[in-house]
Amino acid sequence: MDPRDRSIRDGEPELPPRRAFLARMGGLGAATLAGVVAPPLAPRGPETAEGAGIEAIGDVRRHLQAYQVRQKSALRLLRRPLLPHPDNGDESRYASRLGSYSKCLPHDDHGNVDGPAYGKLLAALASGRKADFEAIPMGGTVKLANPQSARAFDLEGFDSNELALPAPPEFSSAWEASEMAEVYWAALTRDVPFTDYETDASIAQAASDLSGFSDFRGPKEGGSVTPATLFRGDTPEDLVGPYISQFLWRDVPYGPITFAQKYRTAAAGTDYMTSFADCLARQRGGAASGTVFDPTPRYIRNGRDLAEWLHRDFSIQAGVNTALMLLSPAFGPAALDAGNPYLTSLTQGSFVTFGPPHVIDLVARVANAALRAAWYQKWLVHRRVRPEAFGARVHHQVTGVATSPIHSELLSSGALSAVFSAKGTYLLPMAYAEGCPAHPAYPAGHAAFIGACVTVLKAFFKESFVIPAPVVAGADGLSVTPYAGPDLTVGGELNKLAANVALGRDTAGVHWRSDGIEGLNLGEAVAIGVLEDLRGTYTEEFGGFSLTKFDGTTVTV
């Protein structure tokens, strides 16, 4: 007997899926089912004042319509062309795997991964079998971060394996060299308050040094990196106003309470993995000591505060906090997108659809979908090396221990002399005691989920709405004061929030700029795919979701 026909209810055999469905349809034939267009929904039963009998039994028409909604979504995805997934070639280019992620595996005393162990990782990724994952040799106690999830399926929006990213920079490229210099400078200036960027000497030195790279792709003014563009994103309005988004500074209305965004942060001047022995121990997967904390809660006022916030946040935190702010009376109905169908209704207000539960739920739902898409790219396509391991290669190159194909622009950069002057090595000073997470660099997971959350918020709120009563944190982070400057809009501050979350991980030393930029784009694509599916589930007269993408183009879903 076919296992699908096994007894499931008091000995009654389960009908095969197609026959069971036709039976539920009341005997509709296959030809009818294939070509039917269900009529509009209407209440069933006697049309009495009391509405007796409405939907008293299952509605065959509704049952069929629900099937058609799902079928239409599935067919739309099935018709999409398969996309190529290019990588940068580093994994096949270098037998030592110097350009590939290998943390948690066994490494020799120079930091080179054990070849057979890396081979077992590749075998497990290729097969997807639990037994192969369990056979991967580990170098310490830290476990790999969920590589098997790269094969998980999605039932809403795009499947995680269907979206593509451009190849990240090659290990030996001028582009990679510029990104590493930026990460060095972000580490060296973690304690500089954002309010002091225009006057701080180290910030000026960082901007000048990065301006000299031939392929640095961060934002510039007049062709040069300046204190006003340093470490910022390249999304619309990201350069307007303070470095930190209003949505990381404003009070958050949280049900019956409101909380100020003052957080525990790390102690000033505390950096980790500045000796090769410590760096090697972390690369092998050895456990690390805890963070040294500042005892005083503060508003985010410098790179160290931002990095530590992004050390402890959970995936939907920034997105849900922002949704709660935008839904609060401080913004009001005027902040809602003009396409919201309930803004013009005389008898209904939004709630389950187009209302607060809808917004909050959707912001949370797209975050994990974006992580699934990122994990596919991380583990099954790119396996890009993290900056901490690249820094060890730089250290060996400059000190003569070993050679690597590092671009000359980095080796002659002022960033190297600055980091040696500060720490006595050429290693990358890390904000986190454990260093980077136990998964590859590209794309950044934080960037993917915040990109998705922000895209949903753009769909539901008016991007041109001016932020009421904006604030700015002081240099000590103990208070916020009114901001005076150009208007800050919802769309601009959502873009800035996305950049803060994505590139703030660079400040910690765990990611590269391109990880963050492409992670945002991936998260945006994931969210648009989910919105496309949801568009077909609404019964309201609705013209679609309109929003501005991170590249400045507009789209209606």
Q: At what angle do helices 303-312 and 490-508 cross, to 10 degrees?
A: 90
Do the beta carbons of residue 335 and residue 326 sit within 8 Å? Answer: yes
CA atoms within 13 A on the CB side of 308: 27
Asked if 446 is an active-site residue, the reply is yes
Distance between CA atoms of residues 102 and 98, nearest Å: 9
Distance between CA atoms of residues 399 and 249, nearest Å: 43
Asked if 395 is an active-site residue, the reply is no
Helices (H), 327-475: 356-375, 387-399, 408-411, 414-423, 445-460
DSSP state letter for 482: E
Q: Are strands 12-13 and 7-9 parallel, antiparallel or unpaired?
A: antiparallel
Catalytic residue among 107, 396, 439, 511: 439
Kindly tell me the burial class for residue 2, based on how many C-beta atoms sit within 10 Å of its own C-beta (0-12, 13-18, 19 or more): exposed
Q: At what angle do helices 174-188 and 490-508 cross, to 10 degrees?
A: 90
Q: If we measure between CA atoms, which residue out of 434, 425, 435, 441 comes closest to residue 393?
A: 425
Helices (H), 284-355: 303-312, 317-326
Catalytic residue among 107, 395, 446, 511: 446
Q: Which helix (H) or strand (E) holds 264?
A: strand 263-266
Cα distances from 415 to residues 306, 438, 456, 536, in angstroms, run 21, 27, 38, 52
Count of beta carbons in the 10 Å neighbourhood of residue 296: 11
DSSP state letter for 171: T
Q: Residue 536 contacts by C-beta under 8 Å, 6 or more apart in sequence?
A: 69, 72, 73
Distance between CA atoms of residues 126 and 381, nearest Å: 11
Q: If we measure between CA atoms, which residue out of 475, 477, 493 comes closest to residue 485?
A: 493
Distance between CA atoms of residues 68 and 61, nearest Å: 10
Q: Residue 182 contacts by C-beta under 8 Å, 6 or more apart in sequence?
A: 210, 216, 218, 231, 506, 513
Known catalytic residues? 439, 446
